[in-house]
Structure 1
Amino acid sequence: MREFDDIRPYNDCEVPEVIGRLIADNELIDLLLEDLFSGAGKLLYPWLRPFLRARLKYTSRKIDTVDMLQQHLAIRLKSILDQTTDGYSFSGLSGLENNKSYVFMSNHRDIALDPAITILGLVESGRDSLRIAIGDNLLSKPFASDLMRINRSFIVKRSIVGRREKLKALKVLSSYIRQSVCNEGISIWIAQAEGRAKDGKDRTETALLKMLALSRSKDQDFSSAINELNIVPVSISYEYDPCDADKARELYIAKTGNSYVKTAFEDLETIKKGFIGYKGRVHVHYGSPCKIANIGAENLAADIDDQIFCGYRLFPSNIVAWKMLYDSLDVMELRDCWPDEDWFVAHSKFEKRIEALPEKHRDIVVQAYASPVTDQLSSSHQRA
């Protein structure tokens, strides 16, 4: 297991030391102070730090295992969801075996909330938690790495540039995932593609699937190696995306031929906005385990995409956005799924959100909300 030491989550025996390290980190403390005392000048931070540290030490005094930390965070997560959503729901869990471990592969809209709410559905149905794959691009600060790894996250080394070094890192990652699922019986969550689907187009990267098969034995073919991992496609649907305006701005900059440069704490700010921003209704659907025979990564990716498209809960925001772009009888069928919806209110609410954006960003956001409808209709028509 020592070969995984630089990517694995922290163990129970490491929790007290890591919590102590986090509480001692001035950068983290100052970020928290910025939220708690936004009106206070930074000159006051040296005097405020001891009080916040004392509070954090008191709050964490009984947390000495990863499970205890996750129980504490789950309570906080449910409280946040109660305040920032109009309800959240889960489906498909009855199709999963309680005593089996899986690779939960989801579409990716929110950096931290996607895995968090996937875990919540599992835990609330009496299942175990899981390990989370997270890119090292999100871990530019030491405290960020500690925060993630103490919460069952393992590191995907995306920043490596050398071809040989990158292949070596991918093999270690693949072996760790297989070790977790096949030997330890611990499920994992991983996004279907690198980075969030800012344009609303959920597509599985074949390179990800090929990585999962790198750890297969010499006499195994691709299908056999993949089947051992029990890949379950997961569809995560947010009626409203708290970060939609930011995503549109980034896409617009790229569209106009310019390079988008992140600020130092942008990823952390994005995580915060995803948690505390209004999301409307939220739904998570767990699909069926993928069992394949004699097919390659391209066909498997298409199968995963199809499950994610079909499991996606099309909310009124998606339907209104699609209607703004297209005029089709399909809209009436989609509306029938929401018989109690006040469509005048739904239209007004969505249009007000769009009108609050810079005009040059509006089409990008409408397209992003409409994309799941296009994908689901296309998938349904192909099966018909």
Structure 2
Amino acid sequence: MSKFDHIRPFYDSEVNEALRSVVHHPMMKALMSFTFPDVEDEVWAEQLKKTHSKRDFQANFIYSAVQKVLEKSSEGLTTSGFEKLDNHTPYLYISNHRDIILDTSLLNVCLLDHGLIMTASAIGDNLVQKTFLRVLSRLNRNFVVQRGLSPRELLQSSKLMSEYMCQLLTRENRSVWIAQREGRTKDGNDATQQGVLKMLGMASDEKNIMDFFKKLKIVPVSISYEYDPTDALKMPQLLAQSKDEVYVKEKNEDFTTLLSGIMGQKKRIHLHVGDVLDTELDAITATQENANKQIQALAQVIDDSILSTYKLWPTNYIAYDLLNNTSRFADRYTEKEKQVFLRRLEMRIDIENPVLKEGFLAMYANPVVNKMKYQDA
């Protein structure tokens, strides 16, 4: 027994048995029929039964599934920055968080395309309650983040997670993806939670925490969708916050959001990987002695990378102009694009409700506000 057994993905030696246990599951049939619509069930079922590694499962099945999602729900994925990375080096990708499943799936598609090491990725246990989803996530190299723990359990769980990620990166030559914050951003303001970095640092045996982070080879990632397919689903939480109410999720809300995120219309998507953080960490060490201040400075460095390289779309500029009652960025979009955005706004929320209208627009406008801190958007 390994101490990581209850959170880790399958070992390759367990993959074939796991696949055989779910090959006839209705959700596997749905996934495969969607991915390979012209292929007979027996054909993909036989191929699954011959699969013995996570990489083969990802490269031969999940890769095609993500391509199909892009074909059906987007106008294409563009990338930048990957050419700077080394094919044999594992990296710790810290990413802004827009979509539960797609953020990490798209990154892995890009890594595979560029011949880079794919990631093990963090996923909340609230998303893998169903047995099939749990098996699928472990086949897809996800490790489980436990939610809803007491403070004492949370501390133990965080230590274990930190040790596991450190082991993957430094001993198993495996890249890791983790979101910069717990939960998706609801308002378009991407910010790194210091708690995430403190959790990562728990496995450090270095005197200076920045030396430890240097070993992990942090690469900030910014991902932007022209349309957020879950934009309207985020509104009830914003409404509750505006009334100082505690927001309680509906029974199947996570699963609904998961499906909407995958199949909802996104139009264009861009994924940028930043430079490996290195000299920035030396600068933090040179200017900050206090460990908390160093973590704070590191969060800022990650934010600077993500926000300054975030790809802005016409929808972002339209929302900024509508929210601020200006035409400042009118040259960045067409009248037709504006009308399409307005129609979406009217169809998805009650525009008579100022909280909802402002919240919806701010979600798209905030990336512009954030980028303006670095350049004139």
TM value normalised by structure 2: 0.87
Shift of 1:210: 1.0
Secondary structure at the residue paired with 2:140?
Answer: coil
* 2:268 aligned to which of 275, 281, 290: 281
Residue of structure 2 equivalent to 1:307 = 305
Residue of structure 1 equivalent to 2:244 = 257
Residue of structure 2 equivalent to 1:43 = none
Secondary structure at the residue paired with 1:261?
Answer: coil
**Distance in 1, Cα, partners of 2:277 & 2:120:** 20
**Distance in 2, Cα, partners of 1:318 & 1:14:** 45
Shift of 1:59: 5.8
Shift of 1:24: 6.3
5+ residue gaps, structure 2: 35-39, 289-293
Q: Does 1:14 align with 2:6?
A: no
Residue of structure 1 equivalent to 2:291 = none
Shift of 1:86: 1.2
RMSD: 2.5
Residues 253, 270 of structure 1: alpha-carbon distance in 2 compared, 3 angstrom cutoff: same
5+ residue gaps, structure 1: 37-51
Once the two structures are superposed, the pairs formed by residues 136-147 of structure 1 within 5 Å of their partners are 136-147=125-136
Residues 212, 329 of structure 1: alpha-carbon distance in 2 compared, 3 angstrom cutoff: same
Secondary structure at the residue paired with 2:245?
Answer: coil
Secondary structure at the residue paired with 1:104?
Answer: strand
Structure 1 stretch displaced more, 191-200 or 320-329 = 320-329
Would the aligned equivalents of 2:86 and 2:116 in 1 still touch at CA under 8 Å? no
Per-residue CA deviation, residues 70-94 of structure 1 (Å, 9 max, x unaligned), is: 0111012112202211121000112
Letter of the aligned partner of 2:322 in structure 1? M
Would the aligned equivalents of 2:15 and 2:53 in 1 still touch at CA under 8 Å? yes
Per-residue CA deviation, residues 283-342 of structure 1 (Å, 9 max, x unaligned), is: 00000111203141111101111111111100000010011122668626xx4xx5xx5x
Structure 1 stretch displaced more, 121-130 or 365-374 = 121-130
**Distance in 1, Cα, partners of 2:45 & 2:326:** 58
Per-residue CA deviation, residues 148-169 of structure 1 (Å, 9 max, x unaligned), is: 11110011122221x3322121
Residue of structure 2 equivalent to 1:166 = 154
Per-residue CA deviation, residues 98-148 of structure 1 (Å, 9 max, x unaligned), is: 221111011001000000011111111121211111122222223322221
Would the aligned equivalents of 1:136 and 1:159 in 2 still touch at CA under 8 Å? no
Would the aligned equivalents of 1:309 and 1:375 in 2 still touch at CA under 8 Å? yes
Residues 353, 81 of structure 1: alpha-carbon distance in 2 compared, 3 angstrom cutoff: same
Residue of structure 1 equivalent to 2:350 = 358
Residue of structure 2 equivalent to 1:210 = 198
Letter of the aligned partner of 1:380 in structure 2? Q
Residues 159, 143 of structure 1: alpha-carbon distance in 2 compared, 3 angstrom cutoff: farther
Q: Does 1:349 align with 2:349?
A: no
Would the aligned equivalents of 2:227 and 2:265 in 1 still touch at CA under 8 Å? yes
Letter of the aligned partner of 1:141 in structure 2? K
Secondary structure at the residue paired with 1:122?
Answer: helix
Secondary structure at the residue paired with 1:282?
Answer: strand
* 2:119 aligned to which of 130, 135, 138: 130
Q: How many residues align?
A: 355
**Distance in 1, Cα, partners of 2:87 & 2:42:** 41
Would the aligned equivalents of 2:321 and 2:328 in 1 still touch at CA under 8 Å? no
Per-residue CA deviation, residues 333-373 of structure 1 (Å, 9 max, x unaligned), is: xx4xx5xx5x1111111111111121222221111000100
Structure 1 stretch displaced more, 133-142 or 165-174 = 133-142
Determine what percentage of the aligned residue pairs are the same residue: 34
Secondary structure at the residue paired with 2:312?
Answer: coil
Would the aligned equivalents of 1:23 and 1:56 in 2 still touch at CA under 8 Å? no
**Distance in 1, Cα, partners of 2:44 & 2:254:** 23
Secondary structure at the residue paired with 1:172?
Answer: helix
Shift of 1:271: 1.6
* 2:181 aligned to which of 176, 187, 193: 193
Tell me which stretches of 4 or more aligned residues in structure 1 moved more than 6 Å.
52-56
Residue of structure 2 equivalent to 1:95 = 84
Q: Does 1:4 align with 2:4?
A: yes
TM value normalised by structure 1: 0.86
Per-residue CA deviation, residues 191-245 of structure 1 (Å, 9 max, x unaligned), is: 000000011110000011111111111x421111111111111000000011111
**Distance in 2, Cα, partners of 1:89 & 1:180:** 28
Would the aligned equivalents of 2:8 and 2:143 in 1 still touch at CA under 8 Å? yes
Residue of structure 2 equivalent to 1:62 = 50
Residue of structure 2 equivalent to 1:377 = 372
